Amino acid sequence: MPLTLDSNLQVRTVRPADWHVFLEWCTAEGWIISDPERYLFQNQWRLYFKMLWGKNSPRAFISVVRYPASAWIGNLIVDPSRRGCGYGSLLFKAELESLDAADPERTWLTASAMGMPLYLKHGFIWIDDCERWIGSGTGQRGRTGICAQNMQNLIDEDGRAWGESRQELLEYLGNISTPVTSAEFTALLQPGSHSWHIGPWTRRDNYTNISTADIEHFITLIRKNTPGAQTLSIDLLKASKLGPYLKQAGFRKIGSSALMCRTSKQINLGNVCSLASLGSIG
């Protein structure tokens, strides 16, 4: 049965004047919205970013990014002064209903322990733990020149790992980021004003054939391509088993969320090491 909103509430696209409210709420939660993500939602992905508006002020925000065969739900946040009133649940249900009309093969999100009951109720299942790690660079300078072939390799490997092409996202990120490749791994190193981000990070083979030398070499390569003392963040899939190697390289885990999916298809993320974003766009 279609969801009916109260006459005082409406779902609408986020407008430029609303951004400062969203960012204030994120700051209060300790969330970091990366520069690339912010740009995308303020420009070509503007229609993917929605809000629940009530009378004269926003009640909640959410993003729903659509790829060819899947979608990512993220940035669900509620006015801190109005929590417990059901606004977050209402906006989530409205966007999920709209998304269902497009019938994606997979709908992804990352969930806190507090949010999991809502998502389980709507058919999402746990896939893996998504661990937030932070470390620092060791290089003398930032982004170097991009090799077009390296960028195409990254797009191809990412498509194979996720089962669909995310070329639009990766081509945009490639304009501001550095592809880092080795015999075993491919990753994108994204610069930012608050921190740099490693992702997406994929592996060409399955994890049973991974070698310690390959992992250590690649982590060293990533750090050398990042300015010294610059913070590096990564949303790592626990199943990648790369956490101990990051720890050995000086990274520390600062949090964890659940990677969840709503699908009737079989899920295989055996070649995925980390997400392209801090949990909200995959």
Is 73 inside a domain boundary? yes
Maximum CA pair distance of the chain?
Answer: 61
What value does the CA radius of gyration of the chain take, rounded to a whole number of Å?
19
Are both 146 and 249 inside the same structural domain? Answer: yes
Are both 125 and 136 inside the same structural domain? Answer: no
Is 174 inside a domain boundary? yes
The predicted pLDDT at position 74 comes to 92
Low-confidence ranges of the chain (pLDDT < 50): 1-2, 143-146
Distance CA(60)–CA(52), nearest Å, equals: 5
Are both 270 and 134 inside the same structural domain? Answer: yes
The predicted pLDDT at position 78 comes to 93
- CATH number reported for the structural domain that contains residue 50 in this entry: 3.40.630.30
End residue of a domain, out of 129, 164, 183? 129
Is 163 inside a domain boundary? yes
End residue of a domain, out of 100, 129, 158? 129
The predicted pLDDT at position 206 comes to 60
Are both 140 and 125 inside the same structural domain? Answer: no
Are both 120 and 147 inside the same structural domain? Answer: no
| CA-wise closest residue to 88 among 120, 121, 51 | 51
Are both 43 and 84 inside the same structural domain? Answer: yes
Residue-wise pLDDT tens digits, 241-265: 999 999 999 999 999 999 999 998 8
Are both 251 and 134 inside the same structural domain? Answer: yes
Is 189 inside a domain boundary? yes
DSSP secondary structure string, 119-179? HHHTT-EEEEEEEEEEEEB-BSSS--PPPHHHHHHHHHHHHHHHTS--HHHHHHHHHHSEE
Task: Give the chain's domain count.
Answer: 2
Alpha-carbon distance values, 16 to 38, 247, 282 (Å): 11, 40, 24
Are both 65 and 188 inside the same structural domain? Answer: no
End residue of a domain, out of 84, 105, 129? 129
Are both 136 and 257 inside the same structural domain? Answer: yes
Are both 264 and 149 inside the same structural domain? Answer: yes
Are both 174 and 270 inside the same structural domain? Answer: yes
Is 280 inside a domain boundary? no
Are both 137 and 164 inside the same structural domain? Answer: yes
Residue type, 39: Y
Run of H or E including 47:
none
Is 203 inside a domain boundary? yes
Is 60 inside a domain boundary? yes
* Domain span including residue 109: 9-129
